[in-house]
Amino acid sequence: MPVPLYQAKAEFFRTLGHPARIRVLELLQDGPRPVRELLAEIDIEASSLSQQLAVLRRTQLVTATRDGNTVVYALSTPDVSELLRTARSILTDMITDQGLLLDQLRADTDADDGGRGADAARPSTDRTLLA
Amino acid sequence: MPVPLYQAKAEFFRTLGHPARIRVLELLQDGPRPVRELLAEIDIEASSLSQQLAVLRRTQLVTATRDGNTVVYALSTPDVSELLRTARSILTDMITDQGLLLDQLRADTDADDGGRGADAARPSTDRTLLA
DNA sequence: GCAGGACTTGAAGAATTGTTCATATTCATA
DNA sequence: TATGAATATGAACAATTCTTCAAGTCCTGC
């Protein structure tokens, strides 16, 4: 096995580790879209979106082609969809299985319960929630 | 708005975005293992591994159970394997399709380095595309 | 009870990544 | 050609994440 493959994998996943980038990939699952449309849906500054698109381009997850005045982005491989699907299923499993559900609820209502629920559900030594 | 689900996804992927953590998950695919063994295979300081394990625990990708003197880690869901498999296939596609091939070849020749090879081989700011 | 091994934790500084703002670039139209 | 819209880039600063090191907890065996 080639040595730094896990290194490449880590970089790859880091690429996905940003809400705007995830958003973009999800939107592109339905087909190519111009920046303008992405921008309309993603609530982020134009230049920030551009930066994130650049990251996706660098890692070749998306392709960009210019069409006159606008630039149209597309997924460079449909495998990405599959990856996102798997990720979602892991996530929803985790959310329903574990107490993270509570966080989700609490985030909506901003209740003030001392923050214990999800932690108590889990046996290991750790007491901080992800935030 | 269904609140930030894509946010959770991003966090989830970020969790995978570290070579040691990927390594751990890959090793755990073959079954539970004590820290000692992970440590033997991962070439990283004990406390650093511990920190990374803590990250994986927090996001509930792994579980830890104490067995006497040692702590045994395991994947908390087999879905993780599937995710890693999909990721690998995307990556290898990308590598063979695109010029990243070079990096891989180069990485193989200086075989025994812990990952700096790939790093050096690939300038992190790569602006070679946007055909 | 205490010594030592196996792990974990906390905290500080280093490194990486994200945001923002100002400026470029590219194209379309007047 | 000048203007303006759409997008990209660079650079400065803020925020997050990593590494390391010095303790800290748990357990086992003496």
Residues B13, B39 within the same domain: yes
Residues B64, B11 within the same domain: yes
Answer whether B125's CB lies under 8 Å from B54's CB: no
pLDDT at A8 over 50: yes
Residue A131 covered by a domain: no
Distance from C-alpha of B52 to C-alpha of B74, rounded to nearest angstrom:
14
Give the end of a domain, one of B37, B54, B75: B75
Residue B11: HSE in the Cβ half-sphere, 13 Å Cα cutoff: 15
- Residue B124: CB atoms within 10 Å: 7
Distance from C-alpha of B122 to C-alpha of B116, rounded to nearest angstrom:
10
Which of helix, strand or coil describes residue B78? coil
Distance from C-alpha of A128 to C-alpha of A85, rounded to nearest angstrom:
28
Residues B15, B59 within the same domain: yes
Residues A90, A59 within the same domain: no
Residue A100 covered by a domain: yes
What does the block give as tokens for A85?
């699907």
Q: Which residues fall within 8 angstroms of residue A5, CB to CB, at 6 or more apart?
A: B91
pLDDT grade, residue A102 (50/70/90)?
low
Q: Inter-chain contact B17–A21, Cβ cutoff 8 Å?
A: no
Answer whether B115's CB lies under 8 Å from A7's CB: yes
A105 CA from D6 C1′ (Å): 39
Residue B129 covered by a domain: no
Residue A127 covered by a domain: no
Closest residue to A3, CB basis, from B9, B82, B112: B112
Q: What is the dihedral angle through the alpha carbons of B93, B99, B105, B111, rounded to the nearest 10 degrees?
A: -80
Cβ of B49 < 7 Å from strand C? yes
Cβ of A67 < 7 Å from strand C? no
Q: Bigger pLDDT: A126 or B6?
A: B6
Residues B59, B90 within the same domain: no
pLDDT at B130 over 90: no
Cβ of B29 < 7 Å from strand C? no
pLDDT the model gives residue B126 = 30
Q: What is the pLDDT of residues B66-90, one digit of tens each?
A: 999 999 999 999 989 989 998 888 8
Residue B27 covered by a domain: yes
pLDDT the model gives residue B129 = 22
pLDDT grade, residue B93 (50/70/90)?
confident
Residues A23, A72 within the same domain: yes
Mean predicted confidence (pLDDT) in B37-46: 94
pLDDT at B98 over 90: no
Which of helix, strand or coil describes residue B62? strand
**How many domains does chain A contain in total?**
2
Residue A115 covered by a domain: yes
Residues B62, B20 within the same domain: yes
Look over chain B and give the mean of its residue pLDDT values, rounded to a whole number.
77
Residues A40, A97 within the same domain: no
CA distances to A29, A35, B10, B42, B66 from A76, rounded to whole Å, are 10, 16, 20, 33, 44
pLDDT at B39 over 70: yes
CA distances to A18, A27, A130, B19 from B6, rounded to whole Å, are 9, 11, 15, 23
The domain containing residue B91 runs over which residues? 79-121
Establish if A17 touches chain B: CB-CB under 8 angstroms: yes
pLDDT the model gives residue B62 = 96
Residue B84 covered by a domain: yes
CATH of the domain at B30: 1.10.10.10
Q: Bigger pLDDT: B12 or A102?
A: B12
Residues B10, B66 within the same domain: yes
What does the block give as tokens for A131?
């935030």
Residues A16, A73 within the same domain: yes
pLDDT grade, residue B25 (50/70/90)?
very high
Closest residue to A94, CB basis, from B60, B82, B119: B60
Residues A13, A67 within the same domain: yes
Look over chain A and give the mean of its residue pLDDT values, rounded to a whole number.
78
ipTM of the complex: 0.78
Residues of chain B found within 8 Å of residue A89, distances taken between Cβ atoms: 79
pLDDT at A131 over 90: no
Mean predicted confidence (pLDDT) in A74-94: 89
Q: What is the pLDDT of residues A25-77, one digit of tens each?
A: 999 999 999 999 999 999 999 999 999 999 999 999 999 999 999 999 999 99
Residue B128 covered by a domain: no
Give the end of a domain, one of B38, B55, B75: B75
Closest residue to B98, CB basis, from A17, A60, A107: A60
Residues B55, B91 within the same domain: no
